[in-house]
Amino acid sequence: MISELKIIVNSILYQFMNKIFYSKAFLCKKNKKRFLSNLIKMKLIGFVLAASSIGVYASTSAQVTVNVRNGKIENVLKNISKQTGVRFIYEEGLLKDRKTSLDLKNVTLNASLNIIFSKSNYSYRLHGNTVVIKSKTEASLKEATQDLIMKGRVIDENSLPLANVTVTEVGTSTSVQTDVNGNFTLKVSHTSAKIRLNIVGFDPQTITYSNAVVSVKMVSSSNQMDEVVVVGFGKQKKESVVGAISSVSSKDLKVPTSTLSNAFAGRVAGIIAVQRGGEPGADGSNFWVRGISTFAGPSNPLIFIDGIESSITDMNNLPPEVIDNFSLLKDASATALYGARGANGVLMITTKRGGNFEKARINFRIENTFAAPTKPVKFSNAVDYMETFNYALTNRGLAPRFSDEKITNTQNHLDPVAYPDVDWYKTLFKDMSLNQYANFNVAGGGNRADYFVSANFNNDNGFLRKDPFNKFDNNIKIRKYNVLANVGVSLSNTTKAIIRVNSRLDDYNGSGVTSSELYGRLFLAPPALFPAVLPANAENTDHIMFGNLNGGPIPSGTGNNIYYNPYANMVSGYRSSFTATNMGAIEVNQDLKFLLDGLHVKGLLSFTNVSTSSNVRSSSPFYYEVSDFKEVDGKYDYTYRNVTRGTTALSSNLTSEGSRLMNVNFVVDYTKQIKSHKVGGMLAYLSRDYNPNNPSSFVASLPTRNQGIAGRLTYGYNDTYFFEGNFGYNGSEAFAKGKRFGFFPSLAAGYMISNESFWQPLKPVISSLKFRGSWGIVGNANVYSSAGSVVRFPYLEEVNLNGRGYTFGNNWQTTQTGAAISKLGYPGATWERGKKINVGMDLGMFKDKFTLTADWFTETRSDIFMQRQVVPAEVGVVGLTPYANIGQVSSSGVDGNLSYQQQLTPDLYLNVRGTFTYSKNTLLDRDEPTQLFAYQSAIGRPLNVGYGYTAEGYYQDATDIATSPVNTLSKDLKPGDIKYKDLNADGKIDAFDKSYIGNPTVPQIVYGIGGSARYKKVDFSVFFQGTAKVSLFMSGIHPFNPESSALLQYIADDYWTENNTDAMYPRTISNLAYHSNFETSTHWMRDASFIRLKNAEVGFTHKFARVFVAGQNLVTFSKFKYWDVELGGGNGLKYPNNRIVSVGGQFNF
């Protein structure tokens, strides 16, 4: 102790003498005496300070006891000063009105000061018996100039790296994500920083800053209910959600397709979806939420992207890389907020945002796609065509059309012009197309702003061939350019704004005829009559010489009747269009905690503008026929005769149209936690103003406007009992005053039984279990005519000023027209109402490694808008069918999804998932006339079922025809014709023997099952999708009717003859306008169920790069073999679905 005193005293004296000797005052002689006097005084002071230092040792080790609640820090310091004798020095006003709460017992001075200032904006430094307090900003100025970096690695329970873990410094917005190896590097603000690690499926962890590389092990979460779910006008913790909501990860939507809806079927529980074609730009799936619940018009759900009402086209063109959350709202509690427009379900999509990341996150994905038809329809060759045609004629006692010589020469391939054998399908279409896809996105930001920007390019090409003579391209090509940007700005500590921009350009090119026209004409082109193109001669060098024949069934407009040449139709022009879609939105969020803790307001204004310009350019084909030919030394010389004179110049038809959509939303919400009680409320105003620009129709160009309010009240107790009430009060200009607004309420409750104390022993097995139920009324404001067109202002009558009139005068030669009612108004018109009930459960087992969500639902849709079918003649409205809200449909079913994930070994991870949706509907009322026979009534039957005869095989001989009920449909009955059942047993076959047959043409069951596995750097996934309880009806397949119709190969292979009485197809018939064989019946009905390998993918990841090979629609298993069963009924001649193989790479920086 003595030596320490000497050191202290000498140190003090040295510092004092150093200052004195080098001061100007010391250099003056008159001050020397004063200096000696001061020297003696300083010696004494040094001893005093040395002695006081002994007190410092004592005071810093002294015990402090403080117990204060919300007390001023200045008073606390005075108390500590009395206990320890330590002085506190700080600038005046620094600690004014600053408060703290402490409960310290026998704590050292240093420890107590650490506790007081660790969570404040102040720092302290101990100088002897004095404590100097400063602002942390000043104290850490030097520290702030140096980068504090924390590095680490995050692993799971099996010591495997965890990617995409969010690592955040607590109290700041600075965050990063771990890479594929689980590594992270985070810049922190100070050495005592707390670091929080968070990822869905694992319990969050908080650690303290360390300058050493840390290793953090995260434990799987014991509760799936911690996830956040997007709901109407906000978000909720999954635990508190009481509605039926399906959520899908954005990674499950990343499949090799340019259309988002094609990823729905089997992946989203509650969606019934089918893809009816694969034409670029028109390949989206038809989908319904929980099936079809109305027969009046389409049943499309509402779609919201970032809270902005959007079209199906907008959704289909959204790149999966920009999607952050995808939720499907299914029951009334989830959709009642949207009132008169929420009956068909609601899709909620949110796009990604940036964040305060250490550095910008850059992602790039590129892939090349090879596409081919899944199952193209096959046509017969010319020889089979001619032989079958001849059989169809001789079967009716007529002379054959094609000679044996022509058949033989064609079979021997003597000459493709003289004896053509045209495969029209291969002439028109390529076997494969090559497409490209690329996405680049970057996310980042800082303390006051964040951004996410995505640029997307998609190049889809069709299968149509281009003629080498033409300088234009008639193949279907669509190039899509999309830029999306979300920028968030913190205007203050309580005010945040988000600016969103989404721009898309669609550049389309295609044939001058639509694909449906092209495939329709394909069936009307026989293979044996003429080639697609004739060899050019010296007289015709400025145009293509298309083959044809005079005397066909098609008037040409030049006096000659011709046949369809689909190749000529396809390459004689092109169609181009350019569509620009621009959306801009601003959203402002204001925290009103300075008024009331938990109170927030949000305003959203969005504007979408769509403009399209199109140009159809076409020419008339030059058709020629071979009038004569000669063979000289094995070579043929042809003589041509012009059938129709065409044009070489391309005509032009320019059109343009567009639309504008403005949405305004204003939302006030409040949440408050009071001990075990959690209450919440929300009130929203929303309006929509849609202005189409349709030059073809004045009525269609009128704006559509909707507005309303919505509200929600929620209550939760102890995270176990949940109650929720919602309402929507909405209006539409489509209805008259007094009918324009409606109230749509819903109630829901949930019981999280696994949070009860008595459940705790079961937690290791059943980690979470919740029951929920809801009831509510929702609406559908869309009104359609029986023809499926939109009816505007159904309460108003329409008057035709040039309507029917009177004929009079001499020989009734004078007609006077006048005003006449062309549509009767229905003042009582209003929206459909759907009363929905839902009961569901959410189950998690073994720390939620296994999860199951299941729902049972029922709905009664009433007041369906329709045109009456039963109107007495005395009403006097002949030809004017009045409207009414009288239709009624009930529907019910179940849907659910399950998943299982497990780390099987340290290197092997497995995930299995599946969904199931079953929905059936029943027609309750359609103003149907009273049927003579109950089996002909649609009431009590599903929607979209076939109506036709019940087939009982074929007539086998003349005796069978004579002893069967009389077929009044056809007089020319022969063995091999279809025999029908006499349902009413009146001894004859007529229209009263029709009934409803088969399953609906829209699947009642859609399911999917798939899995993914990861072994070290290799990952693999597979997904199967299927449908059941669905029928299709073959039609438009009958050869030679009309005479120019082609022959499909499966008919050529298996039609009825005396030697093939159990054939698929009845006897062939030529050139009959009608025959009972063509009627819709069970003979043409097929089971359209299927299961297909929808997607498969294998990838390899190394550091920041992943390469992959993926496929879609790879293999299909179905009883139906003639074309892709998912295309539905008809003859399969439509643009096919695609089998796709993609090769690509993903790069993350």
Angle at 579 between CA 574 and CA 580, to 5 degrees: 155
3-state secondary structure 35-95: HHHHHHHHHHHHHHHHHHHHHHHHHHCCEEEEEEEEEEHHHHHHHHHHHHCCEEECCCCCC
The neighbouring-strand residues paired with 864 are 887
With H, G, I as helix, E, B as strand and everything else as coil, classify residue 109: helix
How far apart CA 191 and CA 209 sit, in angstroms, is 6
Residue 664 φ/ψ region, left for φ over 0, alpha for ψ in the -120 to 50 degree band, beta for the rest: beta
DSSP string spanning 753-786?
Answer: GGGSGGGGGGTTTEEEEEEEEEEEEEEE---B-T
Q: Please state the φ and ψ torsions of residue 761, each to the nearest 5 degrees.
A: -60, -20
Please indicate, yes or no, whether residues 53 and 28 belong to a single structural domain of this protein.
Answer: yes
Stretch 147-174: mean pLDDT, rounded?
A: 81
Residue 158 placed within a domain: yes
CATH of the domain at 327: 2.170.130.10
Please indicate, yes or no, whether residues 250 and 348 belong to a single structural domain of this protein.
Answer: yes
Residue 132 placed within a domain: yes
Please indicate, yes or no, whether residues 205 and 230 belong to a single structural domain of this protein.
Answer: no
How far apart CA 569 and CA 516 sit, in angstroms, is 12
Q: What is the pTM of this model?
A: 0.79
Residue at a domain's end among 22, 43, 59: 59
Task: State the chain's mean pLDDT as an integer.
Answer: 86
Residue 100 placed within a domain: yes
Domain count, the chain: 4
> pLDDT by residue (tens digit) across 63-73?
788 888 878 88
Residue 234's domain comprises: 224-357
Residues 859 and 892 sit within 8 Å (Cβ to Cβ): yes
Residue 699 placed within a domain: no
How far apart CA 102 and CA 628 sit, in angstroms, is 112
Please indicate, yes or no, whether residues 125 and 98 belong to a single structural domain of this protein.
Answer: yes
> pLDDT by residue (tens digit) across 1069-1087?
887 778 899 999 999 999 9
> pLDDT by residue (tens digit) across 775-829?
999 888 878 877 777 888 889 888 888 777 777 777 777 777 888 888 888 898 9
How far apart CA 508 and CA 612 sit, in angstroms, is 11
Instruction: Please report where in the chains the tokens 């979408």 appear, as a residue.
Output: 608
How many CB atoms are located within 10 Å of the residue 497 CB? 16
Return the DSSP state at 179: -
Please indicate, yes or no, whether residues 352 and 268 belong to a single structural domain of this protein.
Answer: yes
Residue 985 placed within a domain: no
With H, G, I as helix, E, B as strand and everything else as coil, classify residue 518: helix
Residue 207 placed within a domain: yes
Token digits for 246? 């399906």
With H, G, I as helix, E, B as strand and everything else as coil, classify residue 445: strand
Please indicate, yes or no, whether residues 329 and 241 belong to a single structural domain of this protein.
Answer: yes
How far apart CA 121 and CA 136 sit, in angstroms, is 5
Stretch 641-670: mean pLDDT, rounded?
A: 92
Please indicate, yes or no, whether residues 189 and 250 belong to a single structural domain of this protein.
Answer: no
> pLDDT by residue (tens digit) across 351-389?
999 887 778 889 999 999 999 999 999 999 999 999 999
User: What is the separation of C-alpha 6 from the centre of its chain, rounded to a whole number of angstroms?
Assistant: 81
Residue 893 φ/ψ region, left for φ over 0, alpha for ψ in the -120 to 50 degree band, beta for the rest: left
pLDDT at position 877? 63
Residues 1048 and 380 sit within 8 Å (Cβ to Cβ): yes
Token digits for 250? 């954005």
Work out whether the CA dihedral 539, 544, 548, 554 comes out positive or negative: negative
Residue at a domain's end among 357, 375, 405: 357
Please indicate, yes or no, whether residues 72 and 194 belong to a single structural domain of this protein.
Answer: no
1059 Cβ partners below 8 Å, 6+ apart? none
Regarding predicted confidence, which is higher, 13 or 1145? 1145
Residue at a domain's end among 33, 59, 85: 59
Residue 306 placed within a domain: yes
Q: Give, in order, the Cα–Cα distances in Å from 138 to each of 85, 93, 121.
A: 27, 16, 10
Please indicate, yes or no, whether residues 228 and 320 belong to a single structural domain of this protein.
Answer: yes
pLDDT at position 228? 63
Return the DSSP state at 387: H
Regarding predicted confidence, which is higher, 874 or 177? 177
Token digits for 824? 């009767």
pLDDT at position 1114? 95
Please indicate, yes or no, whether residues 131 and 247 belong to a single structural domain of this protein.
Answer: no
In terms of Cα–Cα distance, which of 1067, 1084, 1062, 1079 is closest to 1129?
1084
Please indicate, yes or no, whether residues 77 and 42 belong to a single structural domain of this protein.
Answer: no
How far apart CA 990 and CA 955 sit, in angstroms, is 17
Please indicate, yes or no, whether residues 9 and 121 belong to a single structural domain of this protein.
Answer: no
> pLDDT by residue (tens digit) across 956-985?
999 999 999 999 999 889 999 999 999 999
In terms of Cα–Cα distance, which of 867, 861, 604, 831 is closest to 732?
831
CATH of the domain at 136: 3.55.50.30
Share of the chain above pLDDT 70, in %: 90
Residue 245 placed within a domain: yes
In terms of Cα–Cα distance, which of 330, 270, 117 is closest to 772?
330
pLDDT at position 146? 55
